[in-house]
Structure 1
Amino acid sequence: MHANTAPGTGTVDAAEVAKFEAMAAEWWDPNGKFKPLHNMNPCRLDYITRQIAAEFGRDLTTQQPFAGLRLLDIGCGGGLLSEPMARLGATVVGADAAPRNIPVAKLHAEQSGLTIDYRNTTAEALAEAGERFDVVLNMEVVEHVSDPLAYLTACHDLLKPGGLMICSTLNRNPKSFAMAIVGAEYVMRWLPKGTHDWQKFITPDELYDLIRRAGLDPVDRKGMVFNPITWRWSISDRDLSVNYVTASLRR
């Protein structure tokens, strides 16, 4: 969800970093500014765990099904995805460009008895350093960077051959404007006004094209749909109109 203020990190958008850094201390408050992510997290985790298990032949009923897998959570924020991945046995690197997010994530991991390698860095910097991963989680980040293709190319470079990238973002259409901008920021006030820029949202077809141009093979996409009656998110095969998630492989 974030970019980096460090020099030499091409796709970084400093204004986007500043937005999330201002909210860093609230990451683990389920009723705070990140309430939407807390609500969405079970749905995201269901998709992520199923995709990883299917791709790497892992049994999710075992205690640590992802043992032996090296995983990068890019734009990790306070660690809402990094921590469950570590509990499932993965060796986790959590990277975020907003410096204030990292101490929050580190402290919470320590309090939870988890070992997670949190770093204030970017996808580009990690790729340039030769870091490689079995899995890259790229969740709600691509709509915040200045150059989506360059960013996704860095994510490609971070994957080992046969590696898996899970990428989620927001569709760009009148419905997503009504729900993600007007509804979430102005009506429900789930997020501070200006958190998202609707013009930077990406349609599923546009994202598939970008993923292919970055050298990856997109293999799946699903919608993540919010039900305001049950107050729960679910995965949909058909409704990609607002939030959606994709899976891609480095062949």
Structure 2
Amino acid sequence: MPDATVANLTIREDEAAHFGKLAAEWWDPKGSSAMLHRLNPVRLKFIRRAIDMHWASDVEARKPLSGKSALDVGCGAGLLSEPLARLGADVTGVDAAPENIAAASAHAEGAGLDIRYMAGELAAQDIGTFDLVTAMEVLEHVADKRAFMRELAARLAPDGLMILSTPNRTPQSRVLMVGAAEAVGLIPRGTHDWNDFLTPEELRDLLSGAGLTMGEPEGIAFSPVKGLHLSGDLSLNYIVTARRA
């Protein structure tokens, strides 16, 4: 399930509307975004480790992003933006759906967090560059993926770190993420088009075309015992870092 539907010049209006309708439930861990609430701690584990490695942070530090800026592209209602702020970052969130931005702003205010949120196309935002750029479950909802990746790269500071996650286009993801998960209501119906999923090789090519080098992907897998967890199994979903080549 995505956190967003931001595209570069080609936002899919139907998808923006789809996720905008979910805005009111975004922060309900038992609502339509329940899967995101389960996914978020797994992503944050990867993000924290990547931050510590990239900037040689103290692994015990509570705010390893102190003094750094972060851009959360496709921020939804702020499920990732808020933890990034708590890690010390000066956070900006961008999303295609105005309803999501309204929900994100209200929730951040209630939590006492100073996060700048903006609605609309990333290319239209005059926001400069950032030390950390994230786009979680976004690429599969972007019409012009190469243009979008170039725009992401343009927002990354010279020594910055980018972190992306996206479903893999495999038979397993078609059956479990599009078929079973949407059928039983774990993910809202109409969330995914399997043909828009990206393999790691395709993502590596997109990043290379934008002047970025992709790190080793790590899978986000599911098992009845562990639930969602980081894994060497890339068949459903995966998360990667990227840096300037």
- Tell me, yes or no, if the aligned pair for 1:220 and 1:248 is still in contact at 8 Å: no
CA distance in 2, matches of 1:121, 1:59: 36
2:176 equivalent among 175, 179, 183:
179
1:234 and 2:233 matched: no
CA distance in 2, matches of 1:248, 1:161: 12
1:28 and 2:24 matched: no
1:15 and 2:17 matched: no
Cα drift, residue 158 of structure 1: 0.4
CA distance in 2, matches of 1:10, 1:122: 6
CA distance in 2, matches of 1:161, 1:243: 28
For residue 128 of structure 2, give the secondary structure of its aligned residue in structure 1. Answer: coil
CA RMSD of aligned residues (A): 1.4
> Quick one: structure 1 residues 105 and 62, their matched pair in 2 at CA, closer, same or farther if it must change by over 3 Å?
same
* Alignment match, 2:240: 246
Q: Give the AA of the match of 1:180.
A: M
Cα drift, residue 39 of structure 1: 0.5
CA distance in 2, matches of 1:124, 1:190: 32
CA distance in 2, matches of 1:224, 1:104: 27
For residue 216 of structure 2, give the secondary structure of its aligned residue in structure 1. Answer: strand
CA distance in 2, matches of 1:246, 1:122: 23
- Superposition pairs for residues 36-47 of structure 1, below 5 Å? 36-47=35-46
CA distance in 1, matches of 2:145, 2:159: 22
1:210 and 2:206 matched: yes
CA distance in 1, matches of 2:106, 2:216: 35
Residue identity (%): 44
- Tell me, yes or no, if the aligned pair for 1:106 and 1:118 is still in contact at 8 Å: yes
Cα drift, residue 166 of structure 1: 0.4
- Tell me, yes or no, if the aligned pair for 2:17 and 2:97 is still in contact at 8 Å: yes
* Alignment match, 2:156: 159
Superposed CA offset, 1:32-70 (max 9, x none): 110111011110000011111210121231232210110
Cα drift, residue 4 of structure 1: 5.2
CA distance in 2, matches of 1:3, 1:184: 19
CA distance in 2, matches of 1:183, 1:225: 15
> Quick one: structure 1 residues 122 and 60, their matched pair in 2 at CA, closer, same or farther if it must change by over 3 Å?
farther
More deviation, 199-208/61-70: 61-70
**Runs of 5+ in structure 1 lacking a partner?**
none
* Alignment match, 2:196: 200
- Tell me, yes or no, if the aligned pair for 2:29 and 2:37 is still in contact at 8 Å: yes
Superposed CA offset, 1:155-183 (max 9, x none): 00000111111011011111100111111
CA distance in 1, matches of 2:127, 2:86: 26
What is the number of residues matched between the two proteins? 243
Superposed CA offset, 1:58-99 (max 9, x none): 123123221011000001111110111101101000111100
For residue 4 of structure 2, give the secondary structure of its aligned residue in structure 1. Answer: coil
For residue 209 of structure 1, give the secondary structure of its aligned residue in structure 2. Answer: helix
**Runs of 5+ in structure 2 lacking a partner?**
none
| TM-score (norm: length of structure 2) | 0.95
State the 4+ residue runs in structure 1 displaced beyond 6 angstroms: none
* Alignment match, 2:77: 78
CA distance in 1, matches of 2:6, 2:202: 24
Cα drift, residue 15 of structure 1: 1.2
For residue 107 of structure 1, give the secondary structure of its aligned residue in structure 2. Answer: helix
- Tell me, yes or no, if the aligned pair for 1:11 and 1:150 is still in contact at 8 Å: no
Cα drift, residue 227 of structure 1: 1.7
For residue 100 of structure 1, give the secondary structure of its aligned residue in structure 2. Answer: helix
